[in-house]
Amino acid sequence: MTRKQIIDLLIFVACIIMIFFALKPAHSADFDITFNRHSPLPPTEAYQYSLYHTGVFEVAKVFGRSSGCESADADLITETNDAAVKSGLDPRIAAAVIATESSCNQYAISNRGAVGLMQVNVSVWKDQFDFAGDINLLNRHDNIQTGTKILARLIYTYGINDGIRRYSGLGVGCQGCDPMYVQKILNLGRK
């Protein structure tokens, strides 16, 4: 066989292998990634993010059953998923926080000083983030990136329940905070 024939044969075999794998039915178990304490990403305990069932679809489902978020645009859905995955956070939890905190209103401002979609509290996080310069919390990209980093860090440090509780302010003696906040987030994210 000549060199050209060998190369053609190798290309043919590679094509057959690619076609075989492309036609093979995918099983979700083949694609599951579970975040756990041995991973560099924060744990999400009972949550799994599956590449087979994309996070974008899951975020859209959470927004779709949330008052105020039903008409969320594709960019917000994609941005929420991407920021959550990048932070090591379950995209459903990020979407549930956005839906619960701001009803998908990027200009929401609370009476406690929390700003934007994820209601990032400037006074609590001002020492760790540059809100005066680099980060504009009324910009939805900046807000989601910052909020998912904070939430992922809290969940990684305290576990999912206490991490979400601390994100809400309940972990630091928040008077008047909703004691059912954690359950609301988990219920909305798990459905």
| Assigned domain for 154 exists | yes
pLDDT value at 101 more than 90? yes
| Tokens 């939430």, residue located | 151
The mean pLDDT of 94-114, rounded to a whole number, is 92
Q: Dump pLDDT digits (tens) for 25-60.
A: 444 333 344 444 444 444 444 445 454 357 888 999
pLDDT value at 176 more than 70? no
Q: By the 8 A CB rule, do 63 and 95 touch?
A: yes
pLDDT of the residue at 134: 87
Q: By the 8 A CB rule, do 46 and 92 touch?
A: no
Q: What are the residue ranges of helices labelled H in the chain?
A: 3-23, 28-31, 55-64, 74-87, 91-102, 122-125, 140-158, 160-168, 181-190
- The domain that holds 81 is classified in CATH as 1.10.530.10
| Assigned domain for 6 exists | no
| Assigned domain for 122 exists | yes
Q: Is the dihedral of CA 124, 86, 43, 180 positive or negative?
A: positive
| Assigned domain for 20 exists | no
| Assigned domain for 86 exists | yes
| Assigned domain for 25 exists | no
- Both tokens of 88, joined, read 């090591």
| Assigned domain for 23 exists | no
Q: Dump pLDDT digits (tens) for 1-17.
A: 787 787 777 777 776 77
Contacts of 157 (CB under 8 A, 6+ apart): 163
- Euclidean distance between the first and the last CA atom of the chain, given in angstroms as a whole number: 60
Q: Is 81 helix (H, G, I), strand (E, B) or coil?
A: helix
Regarding predicted confidence, which is higher, 176 or 89?
89
Q: Dump pLDDT digits (tens) for 131-150.
A: 888 898 999 999 999 999 99
CB atoms within 10 A of CB 128: 11
Domain count for the chain, please give it. 1
| Assigned domain for 109 exists | yes
Structural domain span for residue 169 = 30-190
Q: Dump pLDDT digits (tens) for 61-73.
A: 999 999 899 999 9
